[in-house]
A and B are shown apart, each in its own frame.
Chain A
């Protein structure tokens, strides 16, 4: 390290130098802190939900409060954790580094997006709580047009601001990837994380405006009392669902594509093996992005849309599984005969694969009309989307462990990292496999009450949730311990070949003194391990 004391953390000091920073690394960290705070909050609500479900009927909260709790839990998890998590926090930090650039294309816009995010988040959370909003994160009409729910308008405004933030971040990433790639880095020499972020960014700018207009219409409808969506006023609730899911199905891939990008990095680097079939992974991201715009109707199979529409949407839904499976096979092939080290990031990557496979496969059950009608609006759906969205969180944590040495300049305890992961994943299976079973037996979602025969399964599910929380607290403990006592990290602790491993840990303010030579980001054969620095050095 040339100037060990001068890095982006020490470059300038004082709270103002953080709050007004234009440095993508600091903005990434501010997102990270905000998003982890939201995650904690939503996690607490989840535990409250699971506590309420320990017994049939009222356990700790009334039916109304229960509805607010799941609304808070869902809305915060989706809009403040799973959607922004990887792109805004990890992406902001890593993207310019992987490109070999000094910053994103528009640093001011980046900071502006962050503040939009903070204001939107605060507005949304506070008004759900104060205004007693209990519509669920989907804001279905007529729940959301019912005048009794006073907080709906500020909540929608909050989500609207979050959408803006999301669009600006996407725009920033697209332009950065187009224009700031280091000399010699062609499109197919980008790390796959960047492909994931790129495909995501495209979807952010194409899908989010639809959410924006939907929310605006909802606001107009509430203010003026003219029926657009509300059947009581002569509106069409199915129209709302079309609008909503036209955004929200692509949004599930806005959530998962960055996670897949992270997994591509983790699997290759921690298997010390070249990623298998780079191009297939890159193109499958794009294919997923394209397909996902044509399947929104699978959320509406029982809404009364025509049988023809149902059949078309069902068939299209199946097609999304193809590029997803392509990715999974490529990851497995990458690991096959690799020199796998079961580091904590790798444990999370394996956890992602095992969970997401189940999530995707149960999506096929839901995409088939006959089974869908049986299990829609039951805990089967709840389990399905947790098996798809929690892996996004898993990839986020795995990525955080992977880049943690880069971000902080410190190593963490592998032992406790692995234990945390194992406890979390075990808890997850207990929590949600039981919900699949309950769903197939007809346990409806979004209800605080249930038939007594579900009691045992619900209690198991709650016990699993407690284990998940424990796993996460262990993970948090490893991070805090690392900040306080962690050993200094080498520039390249894992032996990765992409650019971010070729600048010091933590990186200097300007990232690179000179841009490293662009090569194959997955050719790790040039790097050899030096135990004395606990890191890899390029062979000379």
Chain B
């Protein structure tokens, strides 16, 4: 049975679909943006609940950090700065995508990707510093919550890197134009979101120590 080609296209929102009218394009853009926002609301509940769990555990503890546990590493500052820079790079990429006649979109996307990867490296480095001081996940709730929250955030960063790679490859294939660069916009929203989440986690775990 032959595939209904039109119907197939109808449901593939963002591929180059020349048959789509600008109004339809606009409507689909709006749908995707709203979808992303709803998704982030849901994710923010995930992180809020995790944070609430962390605070509850911390409130019950007699002493925080527990006696003998090392303080959280200073390297977290490095992570924070790297992630902030990557957010800046993402914003530049978005500006480039909007701007006709500019050719730096790929470069800025690649920079974001590299900084995102660097963030993860820095986080793993921080873990290693702690492990070198005999603080493992099993040591205490202090350790466990730190590893869990950073891992939960890190997993979302990994997801972001996958998304960024896709966006980058689409940018290389020339699929974005100033009029239509939905992928870049969605990516930027998600990326800034992860940045904000990290700042909150950083403040709660490190600055409030």
Of the candidates A12, A14, A108, A180, the one whose C-beta lies within 8 Å of that of B11 is A108
B49 within 8 A of A: yes
* A16 to B, closest residue via Cβ: B1
B10 within 8 A of A: yes
Residues in chain B near residue A174, CB distance under 8 A: 34, 38
* Interface SS majority for chain A: helix
Residues 28-54 of B at the A interface (beta carbon under 8 Å): 30-31, 34-35, 38-39, 41-43, 45-46, 49-50, 53
Residues in chain A near residue B43, CB distance under 8 A: 209
Q: Are A217 and B53 in contact (CB under 8 A)?
A: yes
A291 within 8 A of B: no
User: Among A40-48, A219-227, A481-489, A524-532, which stretch is in contact with chain B?
Assistant: A219-227
The docked-state distance in angstroms from the alpha carbon of A371 to that of B28 is: 54
Q: Are B11 and A22 in contact (CB under 8 A)?
A: yes
Say yes or no: A175-B31 contact (C-beta < 8 A), given A213-B53, A239-B56, A243-B53: yes
Of the candidates B38, B57, B137, the one whose C-beta lies within 8 Å of that of A205 is B38
B60 within 8 A of A: yes
Q: Are B4 and A12 in contact (CB under 8 A)?
A: yes
A171 within 8 A of B: yes
How would residues 98 to 128 of chain A score, 1 for a CB under 8 Å from any chain B CB and 0 otherwise? Answer: 0000110111100000000000000000000
Q: Are B31 and A167 in contact (CB under 8 A)?
A: no
Q: Are A171 and B38 in contact (CB under 8 A)?
A: yes
B141 within 8 A of A: yes
Residues 491-530 of A at the B interface (beta carbon under 8 Å): 509-510
The docked-state distance in angstroms from the alpha carbon of A128 to that of B8 is: 39
Residues in chain A near residue B140, CB distance under 8 A: 226
* Interface SS majority for chain B: helix
Q: Are B11 and A224 in contact (CB under 8 A)?
A: no
Of the candidates B1, B3, B34, B39, the one whose C-beta lies within 8 Å of that of A179 is B34
Q: Are B10 and A209 in contact (CB under 8 A)?
A: no
Say yes or no: A17-B27 contact (C-beta < 8 A), given A167-B42, A224-B137: no
Q: Are A226 and B138 in contact (CB under 8 A)?
A: yes
Residues in chain B near residue A105, CB distance under 8 A: 31, 35
- Within the complex, the shortest CB–CB distance from B45 to chain A, in Å, comes to 4
Say yes or no: A509-B7 contact (C-beta < 8 A), given A171-B35, A175-B35: yes
The docked-state distance in angstroms from the alpha carbon of A102 to that of B13 is: 13
- Within the complex, the shortest CB–CB distance from A422 to chain B, in Å, comes to 42
Q: Are A209 and B141 in contact (CB under 8 A)?
A: no
How many A-B residue pairs lie within 8 Å, measured between CB atoms?
91
Q: Are B49 and A210 in contact (CB under 8 A)?
A: yes
A377 within 8 A of B: no
Q: Are B56 and A178 in contact (CB under 8 A)?
A: no
Q: Are B38 and A179 in contact (CB under 8 A)?
A: no
Residues 199-232 of A at the B interface (beta carbon under 8 Å): 205-210, 212-214, 216-217, 220, 224-228
Residues 170-185 of A at the B interface (beta carbon under 8 Å): 171-172, 174-175, 178-180
Residues in chain A near residue B39, CB distance under 8 A: 171, 205
Say yes or no: A236-B60 contact (C-beta < 8 A), given A179-B31, A205-B38: yes
Say yes or no: A11-B42 contact (C-beta < 8 A), given A102-B10, A226-B138, A226-B144: no
- Within the complex, the shortest CB–CB distance from A201 to chain B, in Å, comes to 9
The docked-state distance in angstroms from the alpha carbon of A236 to that of B58 is: 12
Residues in chain A near residue B20, CB distance under 8 A: none
* B145 to A, closest residue via Cβ: A228
Q: Are A212 and B4 in contact (CB under 8 A)?
A: no
Residues 230-260 of A at the B interface (beta carbon under 8 Å): 236, 239, 243, 246
* A168 to B, closest residue via Cβ: B39
Q: Are A13 and B148 in contact (CB under 8 A)?
A: no
The docked-state distance in angstroms from the alpha carbon of A207 to that of B49 is: 10
Say yes or no: A225-B138 contact (C-beta < 8 A), given A13-B1, A206-B42: yes
Residues in chain A near residue B42, CB distance under 8 A: 167, 171, 205-206, 208-209
- Within the complex, the shortest CB–CB distance from A293 to chain B, in Å, comes to 11
Q: Are A175 and B11 in contact (CB under 8 A)?
A: no
Say yes or no: A206-B45 contact (C-beta < 8 A), given A108-B11, A179-B30, A228-B144: yes
The docked-state distance in angstroms from the alpha carbon of A171 to that of B42 is: 9
Residues in chain A near residue B27, CB distance under 8 A: 179
* A227 to B, closest residue via Cβ: B141
Residues in chain A near residue B35, CB distance under 8 A: 105-106, 171-172, 175
Q: Are A12 and B1 in contact (CB under 8 A)?
A: yes
Residues in chain A near residue B7, CB distance under 8 A: 509-510
* A109 to B, closest residue via Cβ: B35
How would residues 11 to 29 of chain A score, 1 for a CB under 8 Å from any chain B CB and 0 otherwise? Answer: 1111001000010000000
- Within the complex, the shortest CB–CB distance from B91 to chain A, in Å, comes to 25
Residues in chain B near residue A106, CB distance under 8 A: 13, 31, 35
- Within the complex, the shortest CB–CB distance from A199 to chain B, in Å, comes to 14
* A108 to B, closest residue via Cβ: B11
Residues 53-104 of B at the A interface (beta carbon under 8 Å): 53, 56-57, 60
The docked-state distance in angstroms from the alpha carbon of A175 to that of B43 is: 16
Q: Are A213 and B31 in contact (CB under 8 A)?
A: no
How would residues 1 to 33 of chain B score, 1 for a CB under 8 Å from any chain A CB and 0 otherwise? Answer: 101100110111100000000000001001100
Residues in chain A near residue B49, CB distance under 8 A: 209-210, 213-214, 243, 246
Q: Are B53 and A17 in contact (CB under 8 A)?
A: no
Q: Are B11 and A103 in contact (CB under 8 A)?
A: yes
* A164 to B, closest residue via Cβ: B42
- Within the complex, the shortest CB–CB distance from B32 to chain A, in Å, comes to 8
- Within the complex, the shortest CB–CB distance from B19 to chain A, in Å, comes to 14
* B143 to A, closest residue via Cβ: A226
Known: A210-B45, A228-B144. 8 other contacts (CB 8 A): A174-B38, A208-B42, A210-B46, A213-B46, A213-B49, A213-B53, A224-B138, A510-B7
Q: Which 3 A-B pairs have the closest CB atoms?
A: A209-B46, A205-B42, A209-B45
Could you give 17 example pairs across A and B, Cβ below 8 Å? A12-B1, A106-B13, A106-B31, A107-B11, A178-B34, A179-B30, A205-B42, A206-B42, A206-B45, A209-B46, A213-B50, A213-B53, A220-B144, A228-B144, A243-B53, A246-B49, A509-B7
Binding site for B on A (CB under 8 A): 11-14, 17, 22, 102-103, 105-108, 167, 171-172, 174-175, 178-180, 205-210, 212-214, 216-217, 220, 224-228, 236, 239, 243, 246, 509-510
